[in-house]
Amino acid sequence: MRNINALLTYKSGLPFIFGAFCMIISGSYFIAAMVAEATIGRPSSTFAIGYIQAPIAAMALGAVGFAMGSFIAQQIGRYRPQWEHLVNVKSPITLSLFLIISSFGVYLSANVGYANVKDFEERSKPHVIIDKGLLLKVFSLPFNSPRFQDAVKTWDLRKESAGLSYSFISWLVGTNKMIPSIKWNSRQVTVVSDRDIILIRDDAGKNISQTDLSKYDYTRELWAVPVRFQLQEQEYLAVIANLRSTSNRAMVLIYSPEGALVYHEILERKGCETIIKKVTDLKTQQESVEVKTPASFYLIASK
């Protein structure tokens, strides 16, 4: 009984109160986010791991709260010893305040967890993100004698994830890991993903353009093909980004000859591997882009 009473003094009790509060608040956030992901979201293939990670993360944040409470209790004892009688952990008022504040915190944190998933799903709905008015979206070819050219797969997350083992095997068999490049306006360029950023680099490794996609699902693979929308102009670069496998999303990005993003659209990919192709009119040599999705369309020059 003496040990229990000692735990309920302000110096011992405050760390437990702070720790419990942080663990309850963070736990409610993680649970609400997981429920939202399962009901309104697009759960990843590793979603079930969250049931293990969430309690571990909640306990870790509880430990942080415990440390904060210990620090505050020490400061009270050191600088304001006269407050000891005010900080009565055993009092009904203290316990009631703890329950009220915790309940309010659970409500707020759960709503934040749910809202974050909802906002992410709203942002990830198929829609046009950027349109500079240089291209026109149509659902049938404007010419009757087309020639199709497939895009080049320039980056694959599975190869990047191979890491050290891939490099070791390549060293054993005497091959090097090569990043596919494409010829774009008389220069060789690579289109790769660096975490959540799409990078276009020249053959010297200098960045020509970079696009931040951190607000969306991570990129799984990239395909690219140069396209001359206007015969008298230089080539644009059409890129398709297939996002994580279970996202059912892809992105089409069109870059100007200078590397500026002029068209960016997020697409539905459910039941279809989204691909792009360059389409050339054999009679006029006019070029456009075919975007193959469950609702395929073409991008042509607006003029």
Q: What angle do CA 294, 298, 303 make, to 5 degrees?
A: 155
| Alpha-carbon separation of residue 257 from 184, 234, 235, 254 (angstroms) | 8, 6, 6, 10
Tens digits of residue pLDDT in 284-303: 889 999 999 888 899 999 87
pLDDT of residue 2: 45
**Which residue range(s) make up the domain with 206?**
127-301
Contact 114, 252 (CB under 8 A): no
Tens digits of residue pLDDT in 189-205: 999 998 789 999 998 88
Do 157 and 284 lie in a common domain? yes
Do 73 and 165 lie in a common domain? no
Looking at this protein, which amino acid is placed at residue 264? H
Q: Which residues of the chain have pLDDT under 50?
A: 1-8, 164, 166-167, 169-170, 173-176
Do 131 and 151 lie in a common domain? yes
Do 265 and 142 lie in a common domain? yes
CA pair distance 69, 12, nearest whole angstrom = 9
Do 156 and 254 lie in a common domain? yes
Do 77 and 203 lie in a common domain? no
Report the number of distinct structural domains present in the chain: 2
pLDDT of residue 87: 66
Q: What angle do CA 244, 181, 281 make, to 5 degrees?
A: 90
pLDDT of residue 86: 66
Do 174 and 231 lie in a common domain? yes
Virtual CA dihedral for 257, 235, 208, 239, nearest 10 degrees?
A: 120
Looking at this protein, which amino acid is placed at residue 200? I
Bridge partners (DSSP) listed for residue 287: 280
Location of structure tokens 């304001």: 80
Do 199 and 74 lie in a common domain? no
CA pair distance 19, 21, nearest whole angstrom = 5
Do 244 and 114 lie in a common domain? no
pLDDT of residue 1: 43
Do 177 and 281 lie in a common domain? yes
Q: Would you say the C-alpha torsion 158, 164, 169, 174 has a positive or negative sign?
A: positive
Location of structure tokens 């309850």: 24
Contact 131, 263 (CB under 8 A): yes
